[in-house]
Amino acid sequence: MLSYDKPVSMKTQTPTSPATMSNGHQSIPPSPKVVRLPTPALSNGVRTNGAISANGSNPKHDRHIWLVTGPAGCGKSTVAKYLATVLDLPYIEGDEYHPQANIDKMSAGIPLTDADRWDWLVALRQASLNELNNGKDGVVLTCSALKRKYRDVIRVAPYFMPRLHLHFIYLDASEELLLKRVLARKNHYMGANMVHSQFEVLERPTSEETDVLAIDVDRPLEAVMGDALDKVLNTMDKIQNENQ
Ligand SMILES: Nc1ncnc2c1ncn2[C@@H]1O[C@H](COP(=O)(O)OP(=O)(O)OP(=O)(O)O)[C@@H](O)[C@H]1O
Ligand SMILES: O=C(O)[C@H](O)[C@@H](O)[C@H](O)[C@H](O)CO
């Protein structure tokens, strides 16, 4: 029985790689073009990236949700847009799914509550599944997913679809760093006065959450994006090899 108060058992998830920090990791430079993914050939022999079969229901096909996560200002939108472009996958901007009431609250400097976030999380999960049901074999989305139980809401997605793998790309940063980045950012409803509240509720993913790829973002953007792409490609390779 799934419950918001009981963490989803990671034993039911397809393991990806442990939540290790990437300090000192030698990342590959971001590629300016779309890369060929290790997707299996379709029955007609054609390899695809974003699109799969006409009805999108090929049970032999692995699908992936890449959820870029972390507190306000950690770089979710920047990294997710990059991954979606390079991987040729649809991009879902989590902030666009907040109801106006949530935006108004955050604009007024009032942190969201659990109750404010449930419907938003479910809507994001559904939006991701919709993309996959429409024939895509992957989707990149952003969502702060600050608490374990929020991540668990999204972890329900693979129960709806065979061979669906969910991966969190957690952008790890200190409060000090994010304060600096949010202060430098213009024209965004999330003010610097909200950064502390994000860290107050943040539950950093633990090593028990084996579907999390953690990335240190206290580095130049190119290094962060390269590391994220590197981890995504390695994870896909690993899953494909396990299935052979
Ligand atoms: N590694 C980095 N180095 C320097 N600046 C960065 C880095 N990553 C992101 N930024 C900058 O920090 C700001 C916040 O990034 P971005 O908007 O992508 O974060 P976010 O997590 O999506 O924020 P929010 O959740 O508040 O929408 C932007 O101005 C972005 O250009
Ligand atoms: O859960 C939350 O508190 C929210 O999702 C925020 O994290 C913002 O939407 C986002 O970061 C924009 O700055």
Domain hosting 204: range is 58-242
Position with higher pLDDT, 9 vs 67: 67
- Looking from the CA of residue 218, the nearest atom of ligand 1 is 1
Residue 92's DSSP bridge partners are: 141
Question: Over the stretch 120-146, which tens digit does the pLDDT of each residue have?
Answer: 999 999 999 999 999 999 999 999 999
Whether residue 146 is contained in a domain is answered as: yes
Looking at the CA of 73, which ligand is closest?
Answer: 1
Kindly indicate the confidence band of residue 59, based on its pLDDT and cuts at 50, 70 and 90.
low
Whether residue 223 is contained in a domain is answered as: yes
For the chain, how many structural domains are there in total?
Answer: 1
Res 232 pLDDT > 80: yes
CA distances 159 to 127, 171, 239, Å, are: 15, 26, 18
The total of other beta-carbon atoms located within 10 Å of residue 165's CB is 21
Q: Is the CB of residue 218 less than 8 Å from the CB of residue 178?
A: no
In this structure, what DSSP letter does residue 6 have?
Answer: B
Whether residue 6 is contained in a domain is answered as: no
Whether residue 118 is contained in a domain is answered as: yes
- Looking from the CA of residue 111, the nearest atom of ligand 2 is 3
Residue 38 C-alpha from the chain's centroid: 19
Average predicted confidence (pLDDT) for the chain? 83
The pLDDT assigned to 244 comes to: 74
Kindly indicate the confidence band of residue 50, based on its pLDDT and cuts at 50, 70 and 90.
very low
Q: Above pLDDT 70, what percent of the chain?
A: 75
Report residue 68: phi and psi, to 5°: -85, 120
Tokens of 116: 């404010």
Residue 138's DSSP bridge partners are: 64
Nearest-angstrom CA–CA distance, 42 and 28: 29
Res 45 pLDDT > 50: no
Whether residue 14 is contained in a domain is answered as: no
Nearest-angstrom CA–CA distance, 48 and 235: 18
Question: Over the stretch 149-198, which tens digit does the pLDDT of each residue have?
Answer: 999 999 999 999 999 999 999 999 999 999 999 999 888 888 889 999 99
Domain with 102 in it: what CATH number?
A: 3.40.50.300
Dist. CA 238 → ligand 2 center (Å):
32
Position with higher pLDDT, 2 vs 211: 211
Whether residue 22 is contained in a domain is answered as: no
pTM of the full structure: 0.82
Q: What is the ipTM of this complex?
A: 0.96
Dist. CA 151 → ligand 2 center (Å):
14
Whether residue 138 is contained in a domain is answered as: yes
Q: Is the CB of residue 42 less than 8 Å from the CB of residue 52?
A: yes
The answer to whether the CB of 185 is under 6 A from ligand 1 is yes
Whether residue 15 is contained in a domain is answered as: no
Q: Pocket of ligand 2, candidates 69, 76, 95, 194: which has the most ligand atoms within 8 Å of its Cβ, to mutate?
A: 95
Position with higher pLDDT, 105 vs 49: 105
Residue 87 C-alpha from the chain's centroid: 14
Residue 234 C-alpha from the chain's centroid: 16
Kindly indicate the confidence band of residue 117, based on its pLDDT and cuts at 50, 70 and 90.
very high
Residue 242 C-alpha from the chain's centroid: 22
Residue type, 3: S
Residue 164's DSSP bridge partners are: 63
